[in-house]
Amino acid sequence: MRAFSNLEKQLVRRMIELEDEVGSLNVLGNILDSFYGKTHLPDHCFIELKNERDVSIQVRDHALNQNGLDWIREIDEDISKKLLTVVALFQYLEDEKLAYFVGDLDFNSLGEVWSDTKYIRCEFLDDDLKPLIFKYSRKKIFVSETLRILEENGFKTDEELRHEEEVSSMKKQLGLTQVALGITFLGLLILIFIPILVTSSVEIEKSDLPSALAAVEKQLERIGDIEEDSNKIIGDLESAILSVQETINSLDAFKSKPHNQKMQPTADGGG
């Protein structure tokens, strides 16, 4: 199935709208208001449908005299291009069985015709286009369910929708992969920076060690001083004790000396 232009999408939507509107007739003449509004065709002209070979643009006489040939050429170019787009789309829809064109309605014109107005026939339409304009102007159009679904899906074919689903699935998988890679990268960063942070913390703690050691050393020095003072006091006590002991010994020696001197005369007297 081929792609649809914006203009063709507009036409298809109008076909569906007309089919769904109660009392509306889904025909080419009513679809043309997608281009030109309720007047169906540009002001001052209509398309006359006599037979397959006799299809022409009719322009109001006073409009042609007022605007000149350049204006009518612009009108013809605009109408011809749009009608060519319409009939080419109808052919495609009919061939693909996306729409059905039935009946043979008794339409003799496309656009509004004023009975009391004089028109000038302009032979601008291509001869190959005339039979198609005549054919589809007199047909009633029925839209298939397939075309409705196609319009609901934004004129995307089943293949395009499957491709979009595959692309969407791939994007999801890619997103999950990116998340996994992000987590892995974050883990690597953690593995790299935690040892650095720990080392930095240790270094910071080490930088405080000298002051801590100095404080300990000072305390030890104080303890050493206290110990030295204690030893000195103990030494003094020991010296005092020794001095007292020596004094006691001296007294003992003094007491024992007079006793010995008394005993000596008694011994001599006995001899």
Q: Do 164 and 254 fall within a single domain?
A: no
Q: Do 105 and 168 fall within a single domain?
A: no
Q: Do 27 and 128 fall within a single domain?
A: yes
- Using alpha carbons, list the distances in angstroms from residue 114 to 36, 59, 111, 137, 238: 18, 11, 10, 19, 150
What would the mean pLDDT of 158-173 be, rounded to a whole number? 77
Q: Which structural domain range is residue 245 located in?
A: 208-259
Question: Tens digit of pLDDT for each residue in 76-89?
Answer: 788 888 889 999 99
Longest distance between any two alpha carbons in the chain, whole Å: 205
Overall number of domains in the chain: 3
Question: Cα 265 to chain center, whole Å?
Answer: 136
- Using alpha carbons, list the distances in angstroms from residue 143 to 20, 92, 95, 148, 160: 10, 13, 13, 7, 22
Would 175 be classed as within a structural domain?
A: yes
Would 126 be classed as within a structural domain?
A: yes
Q: What is the pLDDT of residue 195?
A: 67
Q: What is the pLDDT of residue 39?
A: 41
- The residue among 15 and 196 whose pLDDT is bigger is 15
Which two structure tokens, joined as six digits, stand for 53? 């070979």
- Give the least confident one: 74-83, 170-179, 258-267: 258-267
Q: Do 57 and 172 fall within a single domain?
A: no
Q: Is 156 helix (H, G, I), strand (E, B) or coil?
A: coil
Would 266 be classed as within a structural domain?
A: no
For 99, residues 6+ apart whose C-beta sits below 8 A from its C-beta are 15, 90, 93, 141, 142, 143, 144, 147
Residue 263 pLDDT > 50: no
Q: 119-122 and 55-60 as β-strands: parallel, antiparallel, unpaired?
A: antiparallel
Would 137 be classed as within a structural domain?
A: yes
Q: Do 51 and 164 fall within a single domain?
A: no
Question: Tens digit of pLDDT for each residue in 59-113?
Answer: 888 887 888 778 777 877 888 888 899 999 999 999 999 999 999 998 998 888 8
User: Is the distance from CB of 55 to CB of 49 less than 8 angstroms?
Assistant: yes
Residue 225 pLDDT > 60: yes
What would the mean pLDDT of 182-194 be, rounded to a whole number? 76
Q: Do 134 and 221 fall within a single domain?
A: no
- Using alpha carbons, list the distances in angstroms from residue 254 to 85, 91, 261: 156, 159, 12
Would 268 be classed as within a structural domain?
A: no
Domain boundary among 190, 206, 222: 206
Burial tier of 70 (Cβ tally within 10 Å: 0-12, 13-18, 19+) = exposed
Q: Is 143 helix (H, G, I), strand (E, B) or coil?
A: strand
Q: Do 15 and 71 fall within a single domain?
A: yes
What would the mean pLDDT of 39-56 be, rounded to a whole number? 80
What would the mean pLDDT of 9-15 be, rounded to a whole number? 92
Would 191 be classed as within a structural domain?
A: yes
Would 269 be classed as within a structural domain?
A: no
Which two structure tokens, joined as six digits, stand for 205? 């703690």
Would 15 be classed as within a structural domain?
A: yes
